[in-house]
A = this chain, B = another copy of it.
Amino acid sequence: MEIFCSKEVSSGLCILSGDEASHCVKVLRHREGDEISVIDGEGTLYRCRITSASPASVSAEIISSESGWGAHPYRLHLAVAPVKNNDRYEWFIEKACEIGVDEISPIIGSHSERKIFKTSRAEKILVSAAKQSLKGAVPQIHEPVSVKEFILAYGDEGDSCDMEAVQGPGPLKMIAYCFENEDYPRISIRQAMERYDGNEYIVMIGPEGDFSPEEAGLAISRGFIPVHLGDSRLRTETAAVTAAEAAYFRWMQ
């Protein structure tokens, strides 16, 4: 089924513009009276009937709607360092969307080789992956921030890194830290998710050179649980997909 995405949904109408409108009219040759399916990117699917169609703009009246379309039963925020080969990061973005993710934050660490990341391409990939995998919600991609900024934005005040933190309250915050370090004994992401009874996860995945000890120490001091992703040595983008799969399997019946 062909699905369109519209940010302009109001008072019984969906408006397609830009690429969505031209694809609808020029490529698929939809005309007034045709029925189309539209997601709003917030989680709702609309069945609509086209009332006016031009390559620049398509108006369609809403016939029915389904909220939480293709939704998953948890909230996952993946904070992942961009990798040298940007194709690999874009691959991770597509796959995470298919499996189930809500927010993605590119984070730049002191060991990062790639210090810049453009979100515009990522947004397009997420829209098409959401449509392709039949999800009404398009995951949000945030502008890149430094690892330190991310930790300070999402971490807890003061030192709270103990297993109590695994119990919540609030999201289960994890940092996938590769260095074996006696100061920070790690549990597996699977164990951490099993011990936590909530459904909100934040996972930090570092660059090829891993987090710096300072970054890991700061994260842990702000309530991020140091986790490992099993015994295999995974590339950054594979680690990020594995974190998405960990949440997916935690909730699989």
Contact = CB atoms under 8 A, between A and B. Distances in A.
B233 A70 contact: yes
A203 B247 CA distance: 21
Interface stretch (A46-54, A95-103, A104-112): A95-103
A242 interface: yes
B133 A95 contact: no
Contacts of A252: 188, 190, 230
A134 B246 contact: no
Interface in A195-248: 230-235, 238, 241-242, 245-246, 248
Contacts of A133: 232-235
Nearest to A95: B238
Interface residues on A, range: 20 to 34
A39 to B, nearest CB: 14
Contacts of A248: 230, 232, 242
A191 B251 CA distance: 12
B232 A98 contact: yes
B188 A99 contact: no
5 contacts: A98-B238, A133-B234, A134-B233, A230-B248, A245-B249
Interface of A: 70, 72, 91, 95, 98-100, 132-135, 188, 190-191, 230-235, 238, 241-242, 245-246, 248-249, 252-253
Closest 10 CB pairs of A and B: A245-B245, A230-B252, A133-B233, A190-B252, A134-B233, A98-B238, A188-B252, A249-B249, A98-B234, A95-B238
Given A70-B233, A190-B252, A249-B249, 16 more contacts: A70-B232, A72-B231, A72-B232, A91-B91, A98-B235, A98-B238, A99-B238, A99-B242, A100-B232, A132-B235, A133-B234, A135-B232, A188-B252, A190-B249, A230-B248, A230-B252
